[in-house]
Structures are given as C-alpha cells and as structure tokens.
Amino acid sequence: MTPRDDSDDSRWSDLERPPLNGAALRRALVRDAGLWSDVEVVARTGSTNSDLVALAADGKAEEGAVLVAEEQNAGRGRLDRQWTAPARSGLFFSVLLKPSEVPVARWGWLPLLAGVATATALSRTAGVDTALKWPNDLLVTVGGEERKTGGILAERAGSDGVVVGIGLNVTLREDELPVPTAASLALAGASVTDRDPLLRAVLRSLEQWYTDWRAADGDPSACGLQETYAAGCSTLGRTVRAELPGGESLEGEAVAVDGDGRLILATMEGVQQPVGAGDIVHLRPAGEA
C-alpha cells in the first residue's frame, strides 16, 4: 500500500486524544504468516473505504492492508449515510480481505463476522458489553438505553476482494454526538479508551475470526460464527420493522439468522420471511409482551 503523508500540525491539539502511531501499529500487527500485511495511518481523508477500494483497484494494496484515518470528512455508513466525528475521537479504519477459497455466496457473512470480532474485542479489552443490531450496527447501553456506537460497511473491491470498514465512537462526549441515539465507549463506561490497544485488539480478533471462517470454507456454523452472532444479536427476540429496498416494509418477530446471514422474521400471518437487506427498526424490547 502506498505510504501517505500523515503529518498534521494540530496532532497534539487535544491531549486527551493523542494520535495513533502507525509505525508502532505495524510492528505489533504485521508479522510473517499473519493476515495483516500493512497498516497505514493518515491524518484525514474522505473515506477509508473509498480509498482502500481505489488502492485495491490500482493494484497498490494487498490482502491484509489496513487503512486508518484520524479523521474522516466523508465517512459513509449503509445507504450512503454520513459518519462524522471529531478528529481522533474514534476508530475509523478499513481492511482489505480476499477470501478466494471461500464460495462468493458466503462472502455476505464478512460484515457480520466483523461485528462479532469487534464486539468480542471490546468486551475483553474495554469491559463494555457490546450488542449487535442486524446487520451491522454496534450497540452499547447508556443510561439504560441502547445506543449506536459503531457501524460496519462492506464493499466489493474488484472481482476478488472485499473492503470492510469499521467506524467506532470512542471518546465522544454527549455534546459531540451527531444524533441523540448515538453513543461512545466513554459514555458507556469503558475501562479503556486509549485507541491504540483498542485497535490492536479489534484487528487481532478480526484476524482470528476471519482465519477460522476461511479455514471452514466460509461455513458460518462450522466455525462457530453463526452461533456466536446469534448469541450477541440484540435484534433477535424483538418485534421489528424491516424497511426494505424499494420502499416496502415488513413487521414481525426476529426469530433467527439463517445460514446465509439473513434475518428471519415471523410475521403476523404466520409466515417466516427472510430479510437479506434493509434497515431494521427495533419496535419492542426482547421478551416484552
């Protein structure tokens, strides 16, 4: 991956939010026979996903390339929603994966895998109970209320790759949140908000889950991914509304995530309907009559 200028005259303007050290991250994460082939940290960019997709298309990024931005001014979530946050207040990064030996039909599990890996790492490293909202939101509890602290976006990169982007609010204060339903790890009472160990933990967890998934030919059941995702998915057991592409919607109880990563809704008509894409709105807490 082509090195970039990560100089920033204001890198020490907020001492509570020190910059990441790209060289130290490379020494810690890039190793022989490991997944991560390079780690680059840039001061700011529009979108790490867009940049890494472009680098892959130009043949300038190998599998395992990691691109981290201290600040994004055109970060994107699903459905081209904007993702903005103050500089160095979160983790905004993308990784390039090329699971050539896994059937393409199973690549849809990659954003769910990234969610499991991130939630696992945050629980272990920061002591924060992170729930998964299908398909790719990361939720924490603040004041007894579930709020979004992170999201995942996967995009194809040519014919043989997928770029997975992860955005995670770490130290945002209440008055810095983009919307009232957002949150940060700090607001959720995280024991660790230093972004360096958090990023290392997430990448190591992602490497382990991806390696196991790939070794199982992408079978989510064989590698334990499907079971682990279901166990951590706060959508299951709730009454939800699925807002589908094309403007249609469907309501029902979310009862399972199937082998293709789709959410299964039990509708009022007694039909089990798979949902493969769309926005999910939690209408009622799990277990509430």
CA–CA separation, 26 and 38 (whole Å): 6
Residue 16 lies in a domain: no
Q: Judge if 219 and 155 occupy the same domain.
A: yes
What does the pLDDT look like over 206-265, one tens digit per residue?
999 999 999 999 999 999 999 999 999 999 999 999 998 888 999 999 999 999 999 999
- What is the extent of the structural domain holding 98? 22-231
Q: Judge if 154 and 247 occupy the same domain.
A: no
Residue 289 lies in a domain: no
Domain count for the chain, please give it.
2
Q: Judge if 40 and 128 occupy the same domain.
A: yes
CATH of the domain at 86: 3.30.930.10
Listed residues 201, 216, 231: the one ending a domain: 231
What does the pLDDT look like over 113-167, one tens digit per residue?
999 999 999 999 999 999 999 999 999 999 999 999 999 999 999 999 999 999 9
Distances (CA, A) of 32 to 27, 37, 50: 11, 9, 27
Q: Judge if 139 and 262 occupy the same domain.
A: no
Residue 36 lies in a domain: yes
Q: What is the DSSP letter of 136?
A: T
Q: Judge if 146 and 197 occupy the same domain.
A: yes
CA–CA separation, 163 and 63 (whole Å): 10
